[in-house]
Chains A and B, each alone.
Chain A
Amino acid sequence: DAMVIQNPRYQVTQFGKPVTLSCSQTLNHNVMYWYQQKSSQAPKLLFHYYDKDFNNEADTPDNFQSRRPNTSFCFLDIRSPGLGDAAMYLCATAMGQKQYFGPGTRLTVL
């Protein structure tokens, strides 16, 4: 039973062409996260929402934006993808003590 769903699993975009990655959850958790994971590196926290409150990490580039229209959905918008933005993007939720991760979306930038 999928609890954190990410669509699509694989996304290809062109250099500079805006792209949106989607995440949904069936857990009704109040916190949602976006992480960037580059090849052979640890996940890096980009930002998170506590309910509707948006919390940006200090070193997250302005090129990355997020929207959370309701509890279930959260979107990652990359306004002008560069080659360096190619990575796995992980969505996670949390309520209480644990984080629950989705399977990730692998973004390729051509």
Chain B
Amino acid sequence: DAKTTQPTSMDCAEGRAANLPCNHSTISGNEYVYWYRQIHSQGPQYIIHGLKNNETNEMASLIITEDRKSSTLILPHATLRDTAVYYCIVRFGNQFYFGTGTSLTVIP
């Protein structure tokens, strides 16, 4: 059973913020939420992760709801190079379980 659910696809205008949602309603207290992205025919690339606090780094921000049942990845100023499949992942111990992914298209 999938641990995360994501919309299949989204579009975003170049320069605007891209907000990618993820539901992880069965997450347990010690499971982290990770986001990776995958550009066609390449290995997934780490973006950000968190447990219960909101996180920000040079690539993105991660907003986790207080009940931890959902989260949102925010790319503040999307560029054409951000077009990729974005995966929301739940990590339990050393195991990373990928969700179905959202295909984000950034439109000029």
Contact = CB atoms under 8 A, between A and B. Distances in A.
A55 B43 CA distance: 22
Given A42-B100, A45-B95, A103 B46 contact: no
Nearest to A50: B94
Given A42-B100, A42-B101, A48 B43 contact: no
Chain A: interface secondary structure? strand
A86 interface: no
A104 B94 contact: no
Contact of B96 (A41, A45, A50): A45
Nearest to A57: B95
Contacts of B34: 99
B28 to A, nearest CB: 18
A57 to B, nearest CB: 8
Contact of A97 (B36, B43, B49, B100): B49
Chain B: interface secondary structure? strand
Contacts of B43: 4, 90, 92, 101-104
A101 B94 contact: no
A97 B34 CA distance: 10
A100 B46 contact: yes
A26 to B, nearest CB: 15
B67 to A, nearest CB: 23
Interface of B: 32, 34, 36, 41-46, 49, 87, 94-101
10 contacts: A41-B100, A42-B99, A42-B101, A43-B44, A48-B94, A90-B43, A92-B43, A98-B49, A99-B44, A101-B43
Interface of A: 4, 31, 33, 35, 41-45, 48, 50, 55, 90, 92, 94, 97-104
